[in-house]
Amino acid sequence: MSDWFLPTSERPWTEGNAVEVLVHGATYFQRVVDVINKASAGDRVLFTDWRGDADECLTDTGPTVADLLCGAARRGVDVRGLVWRSHSDLLSFSAQQNNHLGALVNKAGGEVLLDQRVRRGGSHHQKMIVVEHKDRPSDDIAFVGGIDLCHSRRDDRRHLGDRQTQKMDHRYGETPPWHDAAMQVQGPAVRDVAGTFSQRWDDPTPLDHRNPYRALLRRAAGMPAHPQPLPTSLGSPPTAGRHAVQVLRTYPAKSPAFPFAPDGERSVARAYAHAFSRARRLVYVEDQYLWSTDVARTLAEALRREPALHVIAVVPRYPDQDGGVSGPPNRLGQLDAINVLSDAGGDRFAVYDLTNELGVPIYVHAKVCVVDDEWMTCGSDNFNRRSWTHDSEATCAVVDPDGELPRQVRTQLWSEHLGLDPDDPRLRDLDGAAVLWRERTRDSSVRAKPHQPDPLPRFGRVWAAPLYRLVYDPDGRRVKQRRSGRF
């Protein structure tokens, strides 16, 4: 199994874990509610988030995000959270929402802080929850994935959307259908996820470094410039299963540097490049973007090296914000990446998008990758330069000794997208995967459709290219690393 992972000198990995992939926001939210509701006084809940909406209902009958976390804090659970400070809601971001959630939990006795310790123009994009138990370490559990505690995420297999919505491109309808996934981990790897939280929490840099306006907002919300020290870990979870897990991260090179990553960290990017170098038959990707020629080249090299390798990707049909200014940079990065992969693989590379039973496009927010049914990831990172170098990200790479988990996740997703019974033997045939997708997507009743992004006119490319490189998909590496092309 170690052949699939980065060496331990770069990132530790553990055996003896039990991993489950939770497909769909409704499934994930229900599991989070069940786990946190069982936490009692002396236990601990740690979480990071990109966006948090206090009023988001986690199940049909509640609780809301605020009810769940505030209720835990009032029971004596030590609730600690790091939420990205974000930009204004007026710019389709979530500063006010994140601030509101933090204020409510803090009033209930928890400590949720707005974290702006990022590279200029960057964000904290990690989505993790860790629940530690004072007297029951065998019940310790971590969630890592792409699902924020916010509006639009609570959708299910039917993909009719969350009744509580965030603003999206009008073609996604009034309740945008949303496809997402998260990973549940039990066993020794829980400590590695908690360690990622602890490193960020204990960073001595002020939470709103070099931003007087944010400092004023922080004081108005009654939040400190530095977190209270995080108590020592409650214990080490025992062996829980057969899965090996490596927790991967992205942090940019910045000033002041992260004390735990003084030159930044790109283990997410390096782990993908390593896994693709071992790929022989099939790489399957679900991603929100599929941007960047830098990222695409790692897959293109594998396609050129292995004549039997196929790559299948599933992405959203349209960007979430496809306006006159936001749309062209979004499409530019994806069009260039698709061209790189098509040149390398020809018909061995294919990209699809999804619609629901009403014909409404489904917004694909999942970040899942499966290689040869042997190695898989699920986390917060997207296939773009921003996620691989610039923002903070966290994902879990998993190897199952017999490949059952990666295979089960892939066939579950394919059965839904291609309208097949989960036990259909065609889903297990890696060598026939490309033909299966081409044949099934000719059926109008099947959700998956060939992805055909709108082209960009020559003039649109001229002005969108610098905006794409500097704002939408920036590079967080040092200049020397950029020039070398190394992650």
pTM above 0.85, yes or no: yes
pLDDT of residue 86: 65
Domains and CATH numbers, the chain: 18-220 (3.30.870.10), 243-484 (3.30.870.10)
SS (H, E, C) the chain: CHHHCCCCCCCCEEEEEEEEEEECHHHHHHHHHHHHHCCCCCCEEEEEECCECCCCECCCCCCEHHHHHHHHHHCCCEEEEEEECCCCHHHCCCHHHHHHHHHHHHHCCCEEEEECCCCCCCCECCCEEEEECCCCHHHCEEEEECCCECCCCCCCCCCCCCCCCCCCCHHHCCCCCEECEEEEEECCHHHHHHHHHHHHHCCCCCCCCCCHHHHHHHHHCCCCCCCCCCCCCCCCCCCCCCEEEEEEEEECCCCCCECCEECEEEHHHHHHHHHHHHCCCEEEEECCCCCCHHHHHHHHHHHHHCCCCEEEEECCCCCCCCCCCCHHHHHHHHHHHHHHHHHHHHHHEEEEEEECCCCCECEECCCEEEECCCEEEEECCCCCHHHHHHCEEEEEEEECCCCHHHHHHHHHHHHHHHCCCCCCHHHHCCCCHHHHHHHHCCCCCCCEEECCCCCCCHHHHHHHHHHHHHHHCCCCCCHHHHHHCCC
Mutual angle of helices 293-305 and 267-278, in 10-degree steps: 20
Question: And the tokens for 66?
Answer: 């605020």
pLDDT of residue 233: 75
Each residue's pLDDT expressed in tens, for the chain with a length of 487 residues: 689 999 999 999 999 999 999 999 999 999 999 999 999 999 999 999 999 999 999 999 999 999 999 999 999 999 999 999 865 544 444 567 888 898 899 999 999 998 989 998 999 999 999 999 999 999 999 999 999 999 999 999 999 999 999 999 999 999 999 999 999 999 999 999 999 999 999 999 988 766 677 677 667 766 777 788 888 777 789 999 999 999 999 999 999 999 999 999 999 999 999 999 999 999 999 999 999 999 999 999 999 999 999 999 999 999 998 888 889 998 999 999 999 999 999 999 999 999 999 999 999 999 999 999 999 999 999 999 999 999 999 999 999 998 899 999 999 999 999 999 999 999 999 999 999 999 999 999 999 999 999 899 888 899 999 999 999 999 999 998 998 888 9
Cα separation of 422 and 419, whole Å?
9
Cα separation of 279 and 283, whole Å?
7
Non-local CB neighbours of 439 within 8 Å, separated by 6+ positions: none
